[in-house]
Amino acid sequence: MIDDGILTIEEVAKYLRVAERTIYDWAQKGEIPAGKIGTVWRFKKSEVERWVNQRLSLNSLMPHTGAVHIESVISPDRIVFLDHAAKRDALLTLADNLATAPQIKNREELASEIIKREELMSTAIGKGIAIPHVRLSSVTDLVVSVGISKKDIIDFQVLDDEPVRLLFMIAAAYNQHAYYLQTLSFFSARLKNRDLRQALLAADSVDTVYKLLLNTYIPPPAQP
pLDDT digits (tens, 9 = 90+) for 47-88: 888 777 766 654 444 433 446 778 888 999 999 999 999 999
- Going from the C-alpha of 21 to that of each of 9, 33, 181, 219, the distances in angstroms are 9, 16, 18, 50
Class of domain 70-214: alpha beta
Confidence of residue 133 (pLDDT cuts 50, 70, 90): very high
Residue 102, pLDDT above cutoff 50: yes
Under a CB-based contact definition with an 8 Å cutoff, are residues 112 and 148 in contact?
Answer: no
Q: ∠ at Cα 124 (179, 144), nearest 5°?
A: 40
Look up the pTM and report it: 0.69
Q: ∠ at Cα 206 (201, 208), nearest 5°?
A: 70
Highest mean pLDDT among 119-123, 181-185, 194-198: 194-198
67 contact partners, CB below 8 Å, separation of at least 6: none
Helix (H) or strand (E) holding 49: helix 45-57
| pLDDT value for 184 | 86
